[in-house]
Amino acid sequence: MSLAATLIALKARLGARPFQKALKDPVAAQHRLLRSILGRNKDTEYGRAYQFGSIRSLGDYQGNVPIISYEDIRARIDRMTHGEANILTAEQPILFAQTSGTTGDPKYIPVTPTCRKGGGTTVWLHYARTDHPKMFDGKIITIVSPAVEGHTPCGIPFGSTSGMVVRELPGIVQSAYAVPYEVYEVEDYDAKYYTLLRFGLAENITMLGTANPSSVVKLAEMADRLADTLIRDIRDGTLSRDFEIKPELRGKLEPRLRADPARAAQLEQMRSSRGGKLLPADYWPDMAFIGCWKGGTVSAYLDQFPNWYDPDGKGMPPVRDMGYLASEARMSIPVSDHGAGGVLSIHLNVYELVPAEDIDTRPDDPDSWSFLDIGGVEVGKEYYVFITTTGGLYRYDMNDVIEVVDMYQGAPVVEFRRKGRGMTNLTGEKLSVNQLIKAVGSAAKETGLSAPHFKAEPDGDNSRYVFKVEFDEVPPEETARQFLKTVDETISGLNIEWKGKRGSGRLREPVLQVMKPGWYDRGKQKLVAEGRRLFQAKTILLDSKATYHPEPDETAMEVEPGESHQ
């Protein structure tokens, strides 16, 4: 193992100690963490408003401090982005993690120095390497977003926390990674994946890590599709001019490349032996570990892994879930390859968990919800998640549903199940009902159509959405296609995650199903016949628990971006 790999392993082992200490008494650790967060921030504007200094217990905290969504603190965070200090945290943020908001305006999540030192990923690496000691024998490939995608009015950057971690790795540690950080700043998706592969195919990769398994598949697909270009460039030591890479980035990347005719010949031979297919099972035969999400709607991509990484059935590289992650926080740490569960990161955040049935049955009555600490949950039950972080989120509603699947040394092991009220999530796009309503309204206005009834259904098998719309009259095919195009483009304008996933191909082009006149009323009548009260019998525009179900008898026309079916 290289010096760089040794340093990574040492840092991971040391970084795991706070988590392991918290596991000795998880509930007590949560209470200590809450007192610590409140104590550090009691003199902030938010801390004074809700009397942090007088809080002595979780019960006090729940009595003093309201549950919140991002919209409840947007104005305060806007002030922070303009440079005001001591608003939510005593620490000044060093970064704002940017993610999509339900209204269309991005969310800016404060990242403080304490957040950054939390090291949830280092803990994950420690447990992974303990089980898979060969994962650092070769080079590492990880796929992250750029550390900096822009700057707030006061000059603090916004971007990706994972990107910042990779960018600021010490030089000796960076040598363990096959791909220079600058590759992640390439904006064009095909160009980014090409450049990842240009560096990666020249190396012996033993670990691949990225949150979304669709990226693992896309990497393999593009290596096969671009095999001629990649092999030529590895032979010649070049970076193809066929891809859009800014001159300043190209100037940083090209000097790091070298001609490697021997490796190019190996790749050509591998490809020839497979009848023209270039597979990671051949060019990365020592792959010892893959880290990515395994649960929820993205799990379908895992079924494609063996085609690329184990075509001969000799055994897949082990795959471990990356954990329950969001821009707001890292919330779980998987400690085994089994399933998609991870131990709640009890040393990083304070958790309050509400039984899913409380919110699903009484969504507008939070006084009736039961807020439990981690000691009050039961294995096999689903819960909504509310977090308190070191970054200034207090009793923050993640609007996520997780299931407690096990216990680990007294701490819950959880799996992400679905987004909560008014939101769906196939591959990280986090589509909200507000965005859907705005998009349909924009499309109706642009095309001159009236669309009184509609809904969106996620089609996980095809990684796309099906928009079902009942117009006043069945429109001409081309008008319907324009309607679909406008819906897609409008959502992209409102939701940076949708735009990103559509641009990368992880979320495929949507489909429009034009429903027959009376579809909505017939559906309502069916619900009433099943025992639903009349005022309750309404179409849910976007249901996090629903999946696409065909209604051929109710469909007048199906329109895809390039064709239609009557």
Which parts of 184-292 fold into alpha helices (H)?
189-200, 213-225, 227-236, 247-253, 261-273, 280-283
Three-state secondary-structure class, residue 396: strand
With vertex at residue 56, the alpha carbon angle to CA 46 and CA 54, rounded to the nearest 5 degrees, is: 45
Question: Given a cut of 70, is residue 542 above it in pLDDT?
Answer: yes
Domain boundary among 395, 419, 443: 419
Comparing CA positions, the residue from 96, 62, 58, 60 lying closest to residue 77 is 96
Same domain, 445 and 391: no
Three-state secondary-structure class, residue 424: strand
Taking the C-alpha atoms of residue 140 and residue 134, their distance in angstroms, rounded to an integer, is: 11
Domain boundary among 370, 389, 419: 419
Helix/strand/coil (H/E/C) assignment for every residue in 15-42? HCHHHHHHCCCHHHHHHHHHHHHHHHCC
126 is a domain residue: no
353 is a domain residue: yes
pLDDT band at 377 (very low <50, low <70, confident <90, very high): very high
The more confident residue out of 298 and 426 is: 426
- Counted domains in the chain: 3
Taking the C-alpha atoms of residue 83 and residue 93, their distance in angstroms, rounded to an integer, is: 10
Which of 26-30, 251-255, 320-324, 455-459 has the lowest average pLDDT?
455-459
Same domain, 172 and 313: yes
Same domain, 138 and 65: no
Cβ neighbours for 260, distance < 8 A, ≥ 6 positions apart = 202, 234, 235, 237
Same domain, 391 and 492: no
Beta bridge pairs of residue 344: 332
Same domain, 310 and 328: no
Same domain, 200 and 93: no
The residue-averaged pLDDT of 239-259 equals 96
With vertex at residue 102, the alpha carbon angle to CA 534 and CA 372, rounded to the nearest 5 degrees, is: 75
- Residue span of the structural domain in which 540 resides: 424-565
Same domain, 194 and 309: yes
Helix, strand, coil: what percent of the chain each, to 5? 45, 20, 40
Quick one: DSSP state of residue 376? G
- For position 562, what pLDDT does the model report? 67
Cβ neighbours for 266, distance < 8 A, ≥ 6 positions apart = 283
Percentage of the chain with pLDDT > 70?
94
Which parts of 16-149 fold into alpha helices (H)?
17-22, 26-40, 45-49, 58-64, 70-81, 113-117, 120-131
Residue with tokens 């009349």, as numbered in its chain: 534
Same domain, 144 and 278: yes
Average pLDDT of the chain to the nearest whole number: 91
194 is a domain residue: yes
- For position 538, what pLDDT does the model report? 47
Taking the C-alpha atoms of residue 408 and residue 1, their distance in angstroms, rounded to an integer, is: 31
385 is a domain residue: yes
pLDDT band at 101 (very low <50, low <70, confident <90, very high): low
Question: Given a cut of 80, is residue 33 above it in pLDDT?
Answer: yes
Taking the C-alpha atoms of residue 20 and residue 129, their distance in angstroms, rounded to an integer, is: 16
Same domain, 331 and 252: no
Characterize the bridge pairing of strands 464-470 and 511-515: parallel
Domain boundary among 419, 452, 474: 419
Cβ neighbours for 371, distance < 8 A, ≥ 6 positions apart = 62, 352, 353, 354, 386
- 501-515 pLDDT tens trace: 999 888 999 999 999
345 is a domain residue: yes
Same domain, 431 and 403: no
Let me know: does 131 contact 140? Beta carbons within 8 Å: no
With vertex at residue 547, the alpha carbon angle to CA 545 and CA 552, rounded to the nearest 5 degrees, is: 140
Phi, psi dihedral angles at 342 (to 5 degrees): -140, 150
pLDDT band at 532 (very low <50, low <70, confident <90, very high): very low
Taking the C-alpha atoms of residue 148 and residue 150, their distance in angstroms, rounded to an integer, is: 6
| Tokens standing for residue 84 | 């005001």
Question: Given a cut of 70, is residue 528 above it in pLDDT?
Answer: no
62 is a domain residue: yes
Residue with tokens 């309750």, as numbered in its chain: 536
156 is a domain residue: no
The residue-averaged pLDDT of 175-204 equals 94
Same domain, 391 and 436: no
Three-state secondary-structure class, residue 343: strand
Comparing CA positions, the residue from 65, 163, 59 lying closest to residue 111 is 163
The residue-averaged pLDDT of 277-289 equals 97
Same domain, 303 and 329: no
Question: Given a cut of 90, is residue 3 above it in pLDDT?
Answer: no
508 is a domain residue: yes
Beta bridge pairs of residue 457: 466
